[in-house]
Homo-oligomer: A and B are copies of this chain.
Amino acid sequence: MRAGVFDSGVGGLTVVKSLLEHSLFDEIIYFGDTARVPYGIKDKNTIIRYSLEAVEFFKNFDIDILIAACNSVSAYAIDELKAVAPFKVSGVIQPGVKALTNKAKNLDAKILILGTKATINSQKYKRLLNSQGYYNINSLATSLFVPVVEEGLFEGDVLKSVMNHYFDGIDEPDFIILGCTHFPLIKNEISKFFPNATLIHSGEAVVWFLKNSFNIPKSKSQTSLKLFASENPDKLKEVAKKWLYNS
């Protein structure tokens, strides 16, 4: 099977990493809209427009399923994508919520949702969790995490002061939803701040969800990965080398 993975930039590679680890597909076509990144600070209508343009790109490939790895896209454009795409579509929010409900057996579990402004403002995670009966929910738009990660500051004083800024006065939650593809890259530092919280990672959540919802057979061959970007594909390939293959 062949999957398309769509993200606003390089962040969706954290989802690709999980897909590769589980050899879920024979081939993955990745498209990062690096010429218009980031989406997380943009409007609903803009995000929908950009996402529909990405569908046109993926029509050039014979993909079986499109995974919108970007939480902002999943928050605002998933219905629009499903309406026009000639292939299956999965976001990361429904899988993230499913991953949480698999683990959080008590409905009074304290849940902290972290995301971009777009994702948090959409209230997509919160509403889905509410509809499942969870009510102890705190949402935080931790916008600066994205540029800090983009700057390569996965630890250290800058990240610490940014975490203090957002997390000061926040009670330790039982579960934290990493509602942005960039956040798994700083999960160790988040865990230092909240050592007892269980983190929900979009990549892992998507793997579980795809296996269980779409009955995707495990690929027997090694997954081949093709990388495309709306600008500077070389930078995407460089980041992929580092994040995916640690080289």
Contact = CB atoms under 8 A, between A and B. Distances in A.
Given A46-B35, A46-B231, A41 B162 contact: no
A227 interface: no
A60 B39 CA distance: 28
A37 interface: yes
A148 interface: yes
A45 interface: yes
Contact of A36 (B36, B147, B164): B36
Contacts of A147: 143-144, 146-147
Copy tally for this chain in the complex stands at 2
Contacts of A232: 43
A158 interface: yes
A121 to B, nearest CB: 12
Interface in A206-247: 231-232
Interface in A30-57: 34-37, 41-43, 45-46
A34 B42 CA distance: 8
A157 B148 contact: no
A132 to B, nearest CB: 32
Interface in A153-188: 153, 156-158, 160-162, 164-165
A64 interface: no
A150 interface: yes
User: What are the 6 tightest A-B residue pairs by CB atom distance, in nearest-first order?
Assistant: A161-B161, A147-B147, A43-B231, A46-B231, A35-B46, A157-B161
Nearest to A145: B147
Given A157-B164, A157-B165, A165-B158, A35 B41 contact: no
Contacts of A151: 143-144
A232 B150 CA distance: 25
Contacts of A43: 35, 231-232
B158 A45 contact: no
A39 to B, nearest CB: 10
A16 to B, nearest CB: 21
A207 to B, nearest CB: 30
Residue from A41, A45, A160 having most chain B Cβ neighbours under 10 A: A41
A146 B160 CA distance: 19
Nearest to A160: B161
A115 B153 CA distance: 19
